[in-house]
Amino acid sequence: MSIRKIIIDTDPGQDDAVAILLALASPEDLDVLGVVAVAGNVPLSLTQRNARIVCELAGKTDVPVFAGCDKPLKHTLVTAEHVHGKTGLDGPQLDDPTMPLQDQHGVDFIIDTLRSQPSGTVTLCPLGPLTNIATAFQRAPDIIERVQEIVIMGGGFFEGGNITPAAEFNIYVDPEAADIVFRAGAPLVVMPLDVTHKALTTPAHVAAFRGMDTNVGHMVAAWTDFFERFDKEKYGSEGAPLHDPCVIAYLIQPDLFAGRHINVEIETQSDLTRGMTVADWWGVSGRAPNALFMRDVDADAFFGLLAERLSRLA
Ligand code: BDR
Ligand code: CA
């Protein structure tokens, strides 16, 4: 398979950090053209900092990091320090990054890249609220047909929501942006909570990360230790869901995942169910499919891939 060019749009977040590391550790599969930060888990001033910390940790200071939108299209920003801690990357001790933040706005980078690269060769990987992608699509609708694929972490159907009973965090934070992206017509793959809640760390996985005895291995172990306390308390689960790495794993090894091509629409009007991904899994609406909505993952193979790739980093 040829190397896929990707833009990672992200709000790190410990699980975002692992996703970025997985991508940067996989040059035979992925060419990371840039990392664009968005406000989400924590404000933009922290997500852009965290994105640079993660690129530096991977030793990839040549990957350009951009700051995108600092607030959702319509609503006040909702953050998730209760999950990720005050910095978004709580857990290990982290130094300030030294690599620069690019001057260009992240949305302009997305637009320029899609216009300058051959059409159909750039995949967008949103790991946070969809504000940057929606803004780019609104500002430059010509880029939509140039997108190869959008692979999103967001939503939930069988699992319900995680920030409200109905909504998953990334979609809830900016449902208007999600609505724009889901209606855009670009090929869409969705990794909802239905999948990511099956990609749970176990004590053995965390021990394996630590056992790599590399800087990256220790960091990832410390992040998962911190991140998993929330889900253990909430769901009584054994570990933490590695939500965002599912997006990158799909690009490397799509057959780890299984789902259906269905219609998915976003609730933007209701106070009660704002940000719900209304997924027509059973095909009862007659509405045209617009997304490959995943439901299952081979968790053992997923963690095998993650361990193999992360062990390459120092
Ligand atoms: C999503 O929300 C964030 O807290 C995680 O980074 C992930 O992208 C899970 O709902
Ligand atoms: Ca995220």
The pLDDT, as a whole number, for residue 128 is 98
CA-to-CA distance for 251 and 107, rounded, in angstroms? 23
Taking residues 44-52, what's their average pLDDT? 98
**Closest listed residue to residue 30, CA positions, set 196, 148, 136, 132:** 148
Query: Is 106 within 8 Å of 132 (Cβ atoms)?
Result: yes
Express each pLDDT in 137-179 by its tens digit.
999 999 999 999 999 999 999 999 999 999 999 999 999 999 9
Residue 197 annotated among the catalytic residues of the structure: no
Contact 30, 63 (CB under 8 A): no
> Which numbered ligand comes closest to the C-alpha of 41?
1
- Residues 264-279, mean pLDDT to the nearest whole number: 98
**Cβ–Cβ < 8 Å for 294, 258:** yes
CA of 116 to the centre of ligand 1 (A): 30
What atom of ligand 1 comes closest to residue 163's alpha carbon?
Answer: 10
Domains in the chain with CATH codes: 4-310 (3.90.245.10)
Ligand 1 atom closest to residue 41's alpha carbon, by position in its atom list: 4
| Helix, strand, coil % over all residues of the chain, rounded to 5 | 40, 20, 40
What distance in angstroms lies between residue 73's CA and the mean position of ligand 2's atoms?
Answer: 18
Q: Which of 84, 197, 205, 243 is catalytic?
A: 243
Residue 40 has pLDDT above 90, yes or no: yes
Q: What is the pLDDT of residue 109?
A: 99
* Closest CA relative to residue 191, chosen from 279, 287, 132: 279
Residue whose tokens read 């109905």: 166
Mean pLDDT of 42-52: 98
pTM of the model: 0.98
Closest-lying ligand 1 atom to the alpha carbon of residue 169:
10
Distance CA 47, CA 186 (A): 26
Which of 78, 81, 82, 170 gets mutated to test ligand 1 (max ligand atoms within 8 A of its CB)?
A: 170
Ligand closest to 173 (CA) is: 1
| Integer Cα distance of 247 and 112 in angstroms | 23
